[in-house]
Amino acid sequence: MHRVYNFAAGPATLPEDVLREAAAEMLDYQGTGMSVMEMSHRSKPFEKIIGEAEQDLRDLIGIPEEYAVLFLQGGAWTQFAMAPMNLMHKGKADFVVTGSWAKHASKEAGKYGTVRVVASSEDKNFTYIPKLSRDMFDQDADYAYICGNNTIFGTQYHFVPDTGGLDLVADLSSCILSEPLDISKYALVFAGAQKNVGPAGVTLVIARKDLITDQVFKGTPTMLTYKTHLDGKSLFNTPPCYAIYICGKVFKHLKATGGLAAMQQRNQEKAALLYDTLDASALYKGTAQKDSRSLMNVTFVLNDPELDAAFLKGADAAGLSGLKGHRSVGGMRASIYNAMPKAGVQALVDYMRAFEQQEAKA
């Protein structure tokens, strides 16, 4: 068998233990004589799978009863519309635009109300997280919105903005479960699973229950109404059963390996390895400002873009896959989500140093 270190931004690497367990259960899930892929979502075994997945996620983050946990479909993009359709009662939202995803979300929300951009880092190609203070937010808006980790630009909030009590909505697609999360500071968070949680096809939503009502934007489809899924316990219609099952295994794996504080520690160590290498190098340069650097997506450029192709080719040959930066920014991006082992980051750093030495001699 051949496995590579997969640095892709998502869908992304998953814990090998989880994949092995799923493989062992593929044809016969715990004596049921069928795969979870073939199983009714109304069956007892599946009810147990989704029930445990929710409880394990609640335990990991520490999510109180006042918050709903929903397993939805449609990816983060659907949440860009679903959040305003359900939450924009006065028709006003305050957005902090720190990258392409926040910008997409702001445009989508603009279809349902008035979006005000409170701050943006577009002036410096989204290389930093702007300073924010409570007086910047309109207390009469429905909510404030941030993207917690900017997958494309490699920047991340290392603080929760003080909105002065205004409800905060956050896209945590590329950082959820990478560190402890104080959910009480948020009204609603969402995350496509395919980066840090599980396979593509399921989207996590954690939201304060009092915000989930029948009062939604006129014409909102049943499927895009949070209440449908709260009332249906994420089983209103056929959910992405297999993806939820794998997420459940990832949650158990995280619990068994020390929870989110231990995960954060490992993520900090991995990121430090890579950023220290960038900072000590004459060839590579990190693109994000130091205080805004992401622990999950490490973006960098080579001082001579002519070398990009050779760098990527050599990386592939060394079993280091998925390092090409997002098409909108170029350069390189190493996504080092929870499931990327430290050995993978070490292998990348070793390759980067060897490539730099080779180029210095050439």
Ligand X SMILES: Cc1ncc(COP(=O)(O)O)c(C=O)c1O
- Kindly list the residues in this chain that would bind ligand X in the complex (CB under 6 A): 10, 75-77, 101, 147, 151, 171, 173-174, 192
Closer by beta carbon to ligand X, 77 or else 236: 77
- In terms of CB distance, is 116 or 326 closer to ligand X? 326
* Nearest approach, Cβ of residue 26 and ligand X (Å): 25
Q: How far is the CB of 10 from ligand X (least distance, A)?
A: 5
Amino acid at 337: Y
Rg (CA), the chain: 21
Residue 101 is a catalytic residue: yes
Q: Answer yes or no: 279 catalytic.
A: no
Give the separation between CA 250 and CA 175, rounded to whole angstroms. 15
* Contact assessment for residue 166 and residue 94, using Cβ atoms and an 8 Å cutoff: yes
- Token output for 97: 């635009």
Cβ closest to ligand X, residue 11 vs residue 319: 11
Q: Please enumerate, as own/partner, the contacts of 51-59 that have beta carbons within 8 Å and a separation of 24 or more.
A: 52/248, 52/252, 53/244, 53/245, 53/247, 53/248, 53/251, 54/234, 56/248, 56/251, 56/252, 56/255, 57/204, 57/251, 59/255
Closer to ligand X by CB, 234 or 297: give it: 297
Distance, in Å, from the CA atom of 253 to the CA atom of 202, rounded to the nearest integer, reads: 18
Beta carbon of residue 130, minimum distance to ligand X (angstroms, whole number): 17
Q: How does DSSP classify residue 154?
A: T
| Residue in 94, 142, 167, 195 annotated catalytic | 195
Q: At what angle do helices 259-279 and 241-256 cross, to 10 degrees?
A: 90
Q: Which of 101, 142, 249, 324 is catalytic?
A: 101
Rounded to a whole number of angstroms, the minimum distance from the CB of residue 79 to ligand X is 8
Catalytic residue among 56, 94, 142, 171: 171
Closest approach, Cβ 324 to ligand X, in A, equals: 14
Tokens (6 digits) for 212: 């989930």
Q: What is the DSSP letter of 127?
A: -
162: nearest Cα among 191, 183, 133: 133
Nearer to ligand X, 60 or 146 (CB): 146
Active-site residue numbers?
101, 171, 195
